């Protein structure tokens, strides 16, 4: 039984560094995009805006019930048939945003609905407008309540970046598959892959854990 080739690992660390940066860029971009989609979508669902509410509900159902792989195939291979051509990175970013948006909408909607009706009625009696109530009362509490779900969604999206290699994006998984195919160094390549994802996900998980504790401390003193 042969041992682990540490020289191979050392020689390919720079390649994993570049792939790690690309994965981070996709993950952060996808999370930011999904939050931008998620907040207005959650508000439209909560306030039951006619027509738009149904459109958002349909989007949530579609995005959450189709795999990212199918969405990426459509963006990368299907859109060129109608004259729309995007780079692999753009397709991956749009796909992650589309998928994550549905999850963020549901997380934020649940947070918004957790705000007690008496608080809203009290604010109305004091002369607050609907916009002021949403901005100053509903959203701060909703974000605090939704933090655990938002954290889980962010980690989920970071993990989902492992799929984008299928459309020739040189992420961590794509690099690992290439190295295994070229050098048959499966164990070493997987060690590098797992280590890279741990470097990405563990700090994010810790950060959200600390954030949740801070929020709870602020709420309950």
CATH number at residue 50: 1.10.3720.10
- Residue 5 CB coordination number (10 Å): 13
Q: Indicate whether 33 belongs to any domain.
A: yes
Residue 168 confidence (pLDDT):
67
- Residue 100 CB coordination number (10 Å): 27
Q: Indicate whether 126 belongs to any domain.
A: yes
Using CB atoms within 10 Å of the CB of residue 117, give its burial: 0 to 12 exposed, 13 to 18 middle, 19+ buried: exposed
Mean pLDDT per segment of 10 residues, for the chain of length 221 residues? Answer: 82 92 92 95 86 93 93 92 91 95 94 82 80 82 87 91 81 89 91 92 86 68 51
Structural domain boundaries enclosing 99: 6-220
CA dihedral 163, 167, 169, 173 (to 10 degrees): 30
Q: Indicate whether 1 belongs to any domain.
A: no
Residue 1 confidence (pLDDT):
43
Q: Indicate whether 29 belongs to any domain.
A: yes
Q: Indicate whether 164 belongs to any domain.
A: yes
Residue 101 confidence (pLDDT):
96
Polymer length of the chain: 221
Q: Which residue has the tokens 């709870």?
A: 216
The total domain count for the chain is 1
Q: Indicate whether 70 belongs to any domain.
A: yes
């Amino acid at each position: 039984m042969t041992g682990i080739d540490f020289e191979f690992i050392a020689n390919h660390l720079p390649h994993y560094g570049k792939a790690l940066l690309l994965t981070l860029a996709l993950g952060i971009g996808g999370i930011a995009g999904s939050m931008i989609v998620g907040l207005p979508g959650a508000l439209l669902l909560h306030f039951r805006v006619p027509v738009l509410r149904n459109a958002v509900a349909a989007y949530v159902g579609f995005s959450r019930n189709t795999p990212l792989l199918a969405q990426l195939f459509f963006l990368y291979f299907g859109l060129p048939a109608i004259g729309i051509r995007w780079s692999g990175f753009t397709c991956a970013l749009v796909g992650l945003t589309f998928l994550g948006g549905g999850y963020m909408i549901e997380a934020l909607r649940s947070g918004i609905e957790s705000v007690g009706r008496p608080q809203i009625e009290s604010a109305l009696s004091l002369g607050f407008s609907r916009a002021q109530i949403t901005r100053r009362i509903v959203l701060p509490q909703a974000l605090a309540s939704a933090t655990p779900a938002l954290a889980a969604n962010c980690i989920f999206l970071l993990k989902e970046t492992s799929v984008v290699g299928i459309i020739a994006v040189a992420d961590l998984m794509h690099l690992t598959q290439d190295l295994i195919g070229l050098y048959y160094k499966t164990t070493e390549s997987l060690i590098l892959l797992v280590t890279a994802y741990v470097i990405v996900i563990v700090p994010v998980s810790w950060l959200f854990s600390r954030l949740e504790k801070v929020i709870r401390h602020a709420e309950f003193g």
